[in-house]
Amino acid sequence: MSDPLIPHRASALPSLDVADSAALEDLYVRGTPTNTLRAYERDLVYLTAWKQAAFGAALTWPEQEEVALRFVLDHSRDLHEEEGRAKQTAEALIGLGLRKGLSCPAPATLNRRIASWCAFHRMRNQPNPFDAPLLRQTRAKARKAMARPPTPKSAHPITKDVLLKLLDAAGSGLRGLRDRAILLLGWASGGRRRSEIVGLNREDVDLSEYDAQGVVWLQLVQTKTTDHGKTPKLVLKGYAARAVVAWIDASGITEGPLFRRITRTDALGQKRLSDAAVSQILKRLLQDAGLDPSYASPHGLRSGFLTQAALDGAPLPAAMRLSLHRSAAQAQKYYDDVDVAANPATDLLADW
């Protein structure tokens, strides 16, 4: 990623020479998750365009509190019935393809963009305008005014019955083997995120116990909730383990990316699959399985694993050892979503 933020850092520390500045840039890039860097890049583009449309000026460091306050106000209300500067700015952003409409943006979107803006100030060793008392109070009021029921990341969880339909729809050939391995690894290892699935290398898959015990071990380098090099090993058994081994044997992959693109002629490519490719694969399989392509997103693998664990009566701590949730309260939400009539605890006297 070409990072336009780094060159300004040296201005706050004039003692840094060129080599130190380059080392600092490299440290920031290596020490920041790829998805976060992409989000920073998107947010910087948006903030730059908004400031230009609203004030006819570029971003400044540190930014003025009045500018930060107007940003919060512009993104904390519906602009359909309004006339004036805020609506004109929003329409300019819509024209640039940076804003979807005049409706009030999701609170999470506003919070992420402000968090990025704060991070940009820290990178430049500059004071953050959002720390001002008025900005803090305004943001708190905006959060209450914009409060809405949380939207699930996936329309439906991919529970075991849905997963089996997708696996049947995967078909044969190298592509089918790969797609089944992606789904089963992602689901059975605790509900892995897209970036975690495609980030795996062949070296991260340990088959030393497969022949004797039917077990496959996975070593993720890092997840959203674990630090680099501190992610515990995860295990695959049964159908999931067999699917991953079948993919490795058929593809002949001995090193490098575990999941790669496959050409139209069913030939194995060398490039690692992207996050977006996992979404495309899932949509295709949903459609081939006779379901609406919008039925579930890749996050449905994660929510589906925890939902199925609840349905099958697996203790929450046991499920969390695989899902790697940091917060028990967050993981508990999936257990709470299970229909009380389907709760295994309701069957304690079912056979009497």
Q: What is the pLDDT of residues 101-121, one digit of tens each?
A: 988 888 888 899 999 999 999
Structure-token match 């389907």, residue found: 342
Residues 173, 140 share a domain: no
What is the secondary structure of 231-278 as a DSSP string? PPPEEE-HHHHHHHHHHHHHHT--SSBSSEEE-TTS-EEEEEPPHHHH
In a domain, 352, yes or no: no
In a domain, 310, yes or no: yes
DSSP bridge partners of 218: 205, 234
Domain that holds residue 104: 6-145
In a domain, 167, yes or no: yes
Cβ-Cβ contacts under 8 Å for 321 (sequence gap 6 or more): 190, 232
Residues 314, 243 share a domain: yes
pLDDT tens-digit map of 298-339: 999 999 999 999 888 888 888 888 888 888 888 888 887 766
Rounded to whole angstroms, how far apart are CA atoms 251 and 244? 11
Percentage of the chain lying above the pLDDT 70 cut = 88
Residues 323, 197 share a domain: yes
Query: How many structural domains is the chain composed of?
Result: 2
Q: Is 206 in a helix, a strand, or coil?
A: strand
In a domain, 350, yes or no: no
Q: Which segment of 128-137, 146-155, 272-281 scores lowest on mean pLDDT? A: 146-155
In a domain, 154, yes or no: no
CA 117, 123, 128: angle at the middle one, nearest 5?
50
Amino acid 245: pLDDT? 96
Residues 234, 106 share a domain: no
Which of 145, 177, 207 is at the close of a domain? 145
Residues 187, 74 share a domain: no
Rounded to two decimals, what is the model's pTM? 0.64
Rounded to whole angstroms, how far apart are CA atoms 11 and 13? 5
Overall average pLDDT of the 36-52 stretch: 92
Rounded to whole angstroms, how far apart are CA atoms 211 and 213? 6
